[in-house]
Amino acid sequence: MSNKRNPASHVQRLALGGLMAALVCVATSFFKLPVPITQGYIHLGDAFVLVSAAILGPLGVAAAAIGSMLADLLGGYFQYLLPTFVIKGLVALVAFAGLRGNKPFWVEWLVLIAAEAVMVLGYFLVECLMYSAASAAGAVLPNVVQGIGGVVIGAVLIPVFRRIQQRIG
């Protein structure tokens, strides 16, 4: 039965979107490694940003952006609320667009790498505007490490979440 005719499936998708936003927020807020140089941290949230986009499409893009922004709100990084919402939303959008359809494994990896490159570039540009180019350059390596972690963990989790999604309908 089509989603357009089954209101329960809309509610289920919306609930799953909320769950993914919560997973992004928790993975960002509670599984992190502080980076003293930048006053920021490396976290596991990017893996769930990618998973969210891969399994929920446009709803996953919104969930990723909202969950990431909520992590900044809860962590007291108020100056990053809007930049994080936009950047993580773009990361998820790239992942969603690139992962649509059946792709070879290596193409999916390239898509995930491109999505995380958006994160690194996005934060670099934002921090150039907020602070300085030198300060922004200091955050590039930690963001690359975070991005690599997001790609590796995301590449492992996406097929798992897709199988779960297929089983539950």
Helix locations, 43-132, DSSP H: 45-56, 58-75, 81-99, 105-130
* Average per-residue pLDDT for the chain: 91
How would residue 5 be classed by pLDDT, with cut points 50, 70 and 90? low
Q: Identify the pLDDT of residue 169.
A: 66
Contacting residues for 140 by C-beta, under 8 A, at least 6 apart: 120, 124
Cβ(119)–Cβ(147) below 8 Å: yes
Nearest Cα neighbor of 79 from 129, 121, 16 is: 129
pLDDT tens digits, residue range 70-111?
Answer: 999 999 999 999 999 999 999 999 999 999 988 899 999 999
pLDDT tens digits, residue range 43-52?
Answer: 899 999 999 9
Q: Identify the pLDDT of residue 12.
A: 87
Q: Identify the pLDDT of residue 104.
A: 92
Q: Identify the pLDDT of residue 168.
A: 77
Q: Can you tell me the distance from the alpha carbon of 90 to that of 77, in angstroms, rounded to the nearest whole number?
A: 19
